[in-house]
Each structure stands twice: as C-alpha cells, then as structure tokens.
Chains A and B, each alone.
Chain A
C-alpha cells in the first residue's frame, strides 16, 4: 500500500535506514536508534502518518542487537501503513537499551512506551513519566525478557496458611 512512502523515506534518510522490505505488503524500515526521532518527525509532519497504532518491543535473546522496538504507523488521510523498527544493543553490565521517546510526537506513545519499559526494560530517553504501568513498583526485573524465569513470582502478600 505505502511502498511509495517507504521509498521516499529511504531517499530522504539514506544514512538512517539500515534495511527495508515490503514482504507480504508490510512495508518495513529498520532505522538507527540515533536518527529515529528525525525519521519519526519527518513521517508525522511531512509524510502524513498522523496515527501511531502501537509501540511494542521484542527480545531476540542471543542475537545482536538484542532488542527491537517496533512502531506501527498509519495515515488517517490515505489509509497507508508503515512499520518502523529500531534495533537496540544492551551493554553487558552497562546501561540498558535506550532509544528516544516519541511521546512528544504522538501522545499515545506515553503509556505504550511505559509498557515496553515495564516488560522489557527499554529506556525511552526524554519520556515525561517513565514508570512501570502494569507491574507493581516492588517488582524486580522485566518479566517479558527471555532471561526472566517465566514462573518466578514476586508476591506482595501471602497468607501463613500453616493453620488450615
């Protein structure tokens, strides 16, 4: 549908687009983390993608870059769709994976980036309120990371039920 938009994006940011494809009609561009903000601003203001459908993240444990943040965009005027991905490295013992927030471009990104932070520990720099959104404050770690043991609970309260 929006192959033309994808081609324009690649022409506009030749250095930012790492790779792109249009497999099965899903126009996708992988961009570098440092230029994500410029790409997104261009897509919103010039290319007309006024609706951010969702923001999510993927943990490709064992692969580099380990994390990928995925943005689905849509233009309400033309109905075109575009997928933007950004790969994020996580340094060993260093800072967590970081990428610039887009919550100032699309307010809907605010809570969705909080969810990606909660579940994957991805830090969205410049986010106005980067707190956990689903898990509780006391929770340690990020449960959707592949190295989090999926049945490891962190109870807030348990009854002493030695008495029946």
Chain B
C-alpha cells in the first residue's frame, strides 16, 4: 500500500517537473544560434514549459550542451553539471555535443557523454528548432517515465545493470 502511494506521488512530481524545466545553456559553438531560434518567439520553447534560461547552474535542472566540447573545456562542463541541483537532466544538442561530430582530432571530446551522463541526444549540424523541440518532448517523456539517468541512479538500477553484466560490484559513479 505504502509503495503504491510512493509511486503515485512520484508520478505527480514527475508530471510537474517535466513542465517546468529550467535550462542552463552551455553554448560553445554555432548550435547556439539554433538554440536562440528555439527559445525565441517563432518556435517558442515556452510552449513546453522550458522558457526560462537560467545562466546559473544552481538555478537550473536541465543542462543543454550546445556545441563542441574541447578537452580543455571538459573539466568546466563537469563542474557546471556537478553544481546543478538535483534532479538534473542533460541534453546533447547537435552532433558535436553528441559524438564530437566531424572533429576527429586531438582536442575535441568525442561526445559530452564522455564527461557527464546524457539523457537525450539531438542530431543535426546544427539541428533544426523542430528537432530540438522533439528532443525536449522526448526528455519530458523520459522524466514522466522516470527513465532519465538521475532517476535510474536513484532507483539503484545502474548498479544492478553493472552487476548483471560481469558479476562484479562497482562503486557508484559520481561522474
């Protein structure tokens, strides 16, 4: 009985959370223009409850990694992510943030998931605003289903998955 109450409470909380995302745009490259287009009136990200970019990670719960991440920037990105309040979500915006894109060289991180856990990858170079909104809707779906990285970690699913693959127990990952 208690368990079912908890579940219903989580559902209600997740429903509320998915419509009140506060974005921290970590903008490093040309994808920033598409981010601005998405946030501005024509595509109007406010329709999905994520209209308010906060330029302080302490006040944000959604990290948009917009653009190429270099090896030199990677510790900064990690620190920004660590500073965000829980529960927090990460969207890799564009191919550079997702995989490193066409940069195959000594100074580009091949995807920001090498540094922080990513919930949604939006392809495109840069992605159209429609794709970004599609990614945001996908993230809302994941929040409602409680399948984002933070939510899975809180349910200890990640440790269980790691145990089942090779039978060894690992220390929980901070990042």
CB-defined contacts of A163 to chain B, threshold 8 Å: 153, 158-159, 161-162, 170, 172-173
CB distance from A77 to the nearest CB of B (A): 38
CB-defined contacts of B114 to chain A, threshold 8 Å: 155, 158-159, 161
CB distance from B147 to the nearest CB of A (A): 11
Any B CB within 8 A of the CB of A11: no
Query: Given A148-B106, A151-B105, A156 and B116 touching (CB < 8 A)?
Result: no
CB-defined contacts of B107 to chain A, threshold 8 Å: 135, 143, 153
* Cβ-defined partner of A154 (8 Å) among B71, B116, B117: B71
Map CB proximity to B onto A120-164 as digits: 1 under 8 Å, 0 otherwise.
000000000000001110000001000011111111111111111
Structural contact, A161 and B173, CB atoms closer than 8 A: yes
Q: Could you tell me the distance between the alpha carbons of A150 and B149 in the complex, rounded to whole angstroms?
A: 33
Any A CB within 8 A of the CB of B54: no
Q: Could you tell me the distance between the alpha carbons of A18 and B148 in the complex, rounded to whole angstroms?
A: 66
Main secondary structure of the interface of A (DSSP, over half): loop
Among B112-139, those with CB < 8 Å from A are 113-117
Structural contact, A157 and B115, CB atoms closer than 8 A: yes
CB-defined contacts of B72 to chain A, threshold 8 Å: 134-136, 156
CB distance from B155 to the nearest CB of A (A): 12
Structural contact, B109 and A155, CB atoms closer than 8 A: yes
CB distance from A146 to the nearest CB of B (A): 13
A149 to B, closest residue via Cβ: B106
CB-defined contacts of A135 to chain B, threshold 8 Å: 72, 107
Query: Given A136-B72, A153-B71, A164 and B106 touching (CB < 8 A)?
Result: no
CB-defined contacts of A161 to chain B, threshold 8 Å: 113-114, 117, 173
CB distance from B6 to the nearest CB of A (A): 23
Structural contact, B172 and A152, CB atoms closer than 8 A: no
CB distance from A56 to the nearest CB of B (A): 18
Among B129-175, those with CB < 8 Å from A are 149, 152-153, 157-159, 161-162, 170, 172-173, 175
Q: List 6 A-B contacts (CB under 8 A).
A: A135-B72, A151-B106, A155-B74, A159-B116, A164-B158, A164-B162
CB-based closest 4 A-B pairs: A163-B158, A163-B173, A143-B106, A164-B158
